[in-house]
Chains A and B, each alone.
Chain A
Amino acid sequence: GAGVSQSPSNKVTEKGKDVELRCDPISGHTALYWYRQSLGQGLEFLIYFQGNSAPDKSGLPSDRFSAERTGGSVSTLTIQRTQQEDSAVYLCASSQGGGETQYFGPGTRLLVL
């Protein structure tokens, strides 16, 4: 079946602008995660959604970052007033449940000029 998809694949924006990144998880997966990968670095956890529970936002680096998950499926990560240090690859993953294997999307490469 289809894997996790993300859009756009690349995004170039100017400092101060807002951006929205989209994630379509694998159908039927109840858990969804956002990670950030800076150049040459590991994956940094941002936020986690599980079913109808309140999301775990403990990894969000500032209040400029927020995410929603509508209808238990598609998720949008929003970065307001982007800064150059926000430049990174933003990866989404989904799993069948909170304790199951996570499958990653291809990521969105964000460049803030």
Chain B
Amino acid sequence: DAKTTQPPSMDCAEGRAANLPCNHSTISGNEYVYWYRQIHSQGPQYIIHGLKNNETNEMASLIITEDRKSSTLILPHATLRDTAVYYCIVRVENTDKLIFGTGTRLQVFP
């Protein structure tokens, strides 16, 4: 079973920041938090991952709470093309499995 909990859906206005929350209260010390998204029925696209520190790349920022029990993916300026299902995944220690939950369906509207 997925070790994460996400809201099933969210809306965001185009040009605004999209903040997608994720709870992972049972995360272990060496487990990373990964974010992927799936646009329509395409293959999942890697966005970002982190362990303890906040991370930023050209796509998004990842904010992880100090106790690591939750995190937030931030898309700073959402566009219509960011409409997708976003998956928050805790990578099981010492395995290569990604356990996908049901994700958050983000709808960006004009």
A binds B: no
